[in-house]
Amino acid sequence: MIPDWSSERRRMVDRQLRKRGIHDPRVLDAMLRIPREEFVPPDSRICSYQDEPLHIGYGQTISQPYMIALMAELLELTGTETVLEVGAGCGYHAAVLAMLAARVITIELIPALARQAEQNLQRVLPGINVTVISGDGSQGWPEAAPYGGISVAAAAPDVPEPLLAQLADGGRLVIPVGARFDQELRVIRKTGSATEDRVATFCRFVPLRGSEGWH
């Protein structure tokens, strides 16, 4: 039997997001609109709306829906921003961000995943305002900077300086930082030359690689 995906999606939004304190209506709406089942690999499809991360191949995972909604909410986007995502994976998180911003650039280190993200986004949401770049996003993507928001989907040993440098005035960087297997999800807001840094929660992400990541 084919699941009723839209009721699964509604249930996920109610039970996993609203009940746990996600309340930005734009984020909840984006989570209701993007079909997660179209992005995850076919053998994980049945688990699309479970409250857990899923394997997307190449040793990588897509976060649980709650973490994606929380990260999106923490960016406090208004719809006018250019947003950079580091770690496109299967493209789902970028699709959610695209509902909340003017433009999304997502950069992925593993070329096969970059192709997968691009294909998924064009198949599911043709013409969506997302550009997929294949490369090392730990350095950011200066070509489209400054960014009103930067969302990093892999855990860094430290906050990469190039990402801070590419934030717009008033922009926010949401990034897991810490040890290999447990990290803090940090929210860094830039105002002029000052930054304000806080910890939103504890988390566990796959490692950020590349020049500013784990070697």
* Binding stretches for ligand SAH (CB under 6 A): 56, 60-62, 86-87, 89-90, 92-93, 107-110, 113, 136-138, 153-154, 206, 208-210, 213
Q: Nearest distance from residue 213's CB to ligand SAH, in Å?
A: 5
Catalytic residue, chosen from 48, 63, 138, 151, is 63
Identify whether the C-beta of residue 70 lies closer than 8 Å to the C-beta of residue 200: yes
d(CA 93, CA 27): 12
d(CA 45, CA 54): 9
Which CB sits closer to ligand SAH, 69 or 206?
A: 206
Strand, coil or helix: 11? helix
Neighbours of 29 (CB within 10 A): 13
Which CB sits closer to ligand SAH, 153 or 174?
A: 153
Helices H / strands E in the chain, number of each: 6, 9
CA angle 171/157/154 to nearest 5° reads: 65
Q: Nearest distance from residue 19's CB to ligand SAH, in Å?
A: 22
Q: Nearest distance from residue 114's CB to ligand SAH, in Å?
A: 8
Q: How many CA atoms lie within 13 A of 215 on its CB side?
A: 2
Which CB sits closer to ligand SAH, 28 or 174?
A: 174
d(CA 148, CA 81): 5
In the residue annotation, 48 being an active-site residue is answered as: no
Q: Nearest distance from residue 192's CB to ligand SAH, in Å?
A: 28
Cβ burial of 111 (10 Å; 0-12, 13-18, 19+) is exposed
Which CB sits closer to ligand SAH, 87 or 148?
A: 87
Residues that are catalytic: 63
